[in-house]
Amino acid sequence: MLLSTRVRDIQDSITMKLNEKAIELTEEGRVVYNLSGGQLPIKPLPEFIEKIHHQLNFLKSYQYSPSAGFVALRKKLLKHFADTRHLSADLLENWDAIVSNGSKHSLYNALGAVVNPGDEVILLAPYWVTYPEIIKFWGATPKIVKSNVYDAFVPAVDDIRKLVTEKTKAIIVNSPNNPSGVHYSDDWMREFAAFLKERPGLIVISDEVYADLCYFDPKPTYFYQIDKSLLAQTIVVHAISKTLAATGLRLGYAIAPAEVTAAMGRIQGQTTSGPNSLMQRSLLDFDLSHLESFLTPIRNHIRLNAAFLREKFREANLGHCWYQSTSAFYFMIDFSRTPMFKRFGDEGDRSDVISDELLNKEGILVVPGRDFGIPNSARISLVIEEIPFQEAISKIIKYLKKH
């Protein structure tokens, strides 16, 4: 059967594939240190699970919700956004929220609502692997702004400016960032806000799924907090996936000017309809202020693993792999100046080869950096338990030091 050109252009989700591979190897009895995880290895907090149990008793939990999600939940999410970003309610008077099947779905709807075939969408490397695929799905072209370990994976605003053409429709900003585990500084956001003021037609999709997972002060600031007039060109994407340890429950949302959420709602209404009613009602019933006490030990755990990693790199004279991660679940290892890399010479991207070796020789699963737009690197996840994490890091260092 001849498949459509659109689908032939879409890559398999590398992170999903790796997850499947880790399960397969573990089932074969091999010890695998799975550092590919983009989710917390724990259940959501008990108060939320209780809400799910409770909502099982109601007919509404089993029936269709409005396409854009229950109105009361949308209002709650909008208010939570205003409160946590310190924005007064009147600024969001003409705004709405739309609830979807995870934030990946929100991003898909958002891009569908704003880009036309032939448009360009700017991505800041490193970027989450799915962005280019969604952009291409809608017939637009991703344009990449580069960065590297030496600037702690923070792209220069001037480089963004240079990439803008008359075809540029949108830019996706993901702070805190997957895969680098950094968030852009206040100064960066200030410079970015000034750039956006020059470009009022440019739409910013601000993917904030890791906003609550910052383990270093200062916390993330967003451009629209610096200049509130920029809200008019902003679509914010968020989810319960990372914050509530609930990736499988598939609940994400977008918050944007109401004409945008209405357009996204039309796409959703004719594709998936509203997301899972039981989960929406459980979230509606759940007191979001419980999140803080749930997240505090998680942030501490990630901070400790990150500190261990940096310390060990320093001890092993792998200082050039070092940078200060601050948020989200991840750290990027740059292989290109490690002793192990010498055998490859300078040419080409070896991140796939190195990741395969790490898995086959050392039993360590990492995500190759190529798909994040950073050659000769890999993303490791900081969320696993302390002891296996430390064992895995020692093995990685041994591997990197080998000539």
Ligand X SMILES: Cc1ncc(COP(=O)(O)O)c(C=O)c1O
Q: What is the DSSP string of 45-75?
A: PHHHHHHHHHHTT-GGGGSPPPTT--HHHHH
Q: Do the beta carbons of residue 87 and residue 116 sit within 8 Å? A: no
**Smallest distance, ligand X to C-beta of residue 211, A:** 11
Q: Which one among 104, 169, 350, 370 touches ligand X, defined by CB under 6 A? A: 104
Which lies closer to ligand X via its Cβ, residue 155 or residue 252? 252
Least separation in angstroms between CB 188 and ligand X: 17
Q: Is the dihedral of CA 56, 59, 60, 62 positive or negative?
A: positive
CB of 252 vs ligand X, minimal distance in Å: 4
CB of 359 to ligand X, least distance (A): 20
Q: Is 95 in the site for ligand X (CB under 6 A)?
A: no
Tokens read off for 10 = 């879409």
b/e burial code for range 209-232 (CB count within 10 A of at least 16 → b): bbbbbbbeeeebbbbbbbeeebbe
Task: Assign 333 to helix, strand or coil.
Answer: strand
Q: How far is the CB of 90 from ligand X (least distance, A)?
A: 29
Structure tokens at 33: 């240190």
CB of 209 to ligand X, least distance (A): 4
Nearer to ligand X (CB atom), residue 310 or residue 379:
379
Please select the residue that binds ligand X; options are 37, 44, 69, 102, rule is CB under 6 A.
102
Compute the distance between CA of residue 133 and CA of residue 141 in angstroms, rounded to an integer: 10
Q: Which residues pair with 34 in a beta bridge?
A: 365
Cα(154)–Cα(17) distance, rounded to whole angstroms?
A: 28
Smallest distance, ligand X to C-beta of residue 268, A: 14
Helix or strand holding residue 299 (H, E): helix 291-315
* Cis ω for the linkage preceding 368 (within 30 of 0): no
Asked whether the CA dihedral 249, 255, 260, 261 is positive or negative, the reply is: positive
19, 55, 61, 103: which one binds ligand X (CB under 6 A): 103
Beta bridge partners of 144: 123
Closest distance of CB 345 from ligand X, Å: 33
Nearer to ligand X, 103 or 327 (CB): 103
What mask of x and - would describe binding to ligand X in positions 164 to 203, judged by CB under 6 A?
A: ----------x---x-------------------------
CA-CA distance, 250 to 238, in Å (whole number)? 12
Minimum CB distance to ligand X smaller for 350 or for 370: 370
Longest dimension (CA), the chain: 64
Applying CB under 6 A, among 96, 191, 207, 212 the residue interacting with ligand X is: 207
Position among 69, 126, 252, 368 found at the interface with ligand X (CB under 6 A): 252
Residue with the shortest CB distance to ligand X: 102
Q: Which is nearer to ligand X, 239 or 316 (CB)?
A: 239
Helices 258-269 and 103-114, axial angle in degrees (round to 10): 110
Q: Is 357 helix (H, G, I), strand (E, B) or coil?
A: helix
Interface positions, 212-251, toward ligand X (CB under 6 A)? 239, 241, 247
Choosing from 128, 153, 223, 294, the residue that interacts with ligand X (CB under 6 A) is 128
Contacts with ligand X, residue ranges (CB under 6 A): 38, 102-104, 128, 174, 178, 207, 209, 239, 241, 247, 252
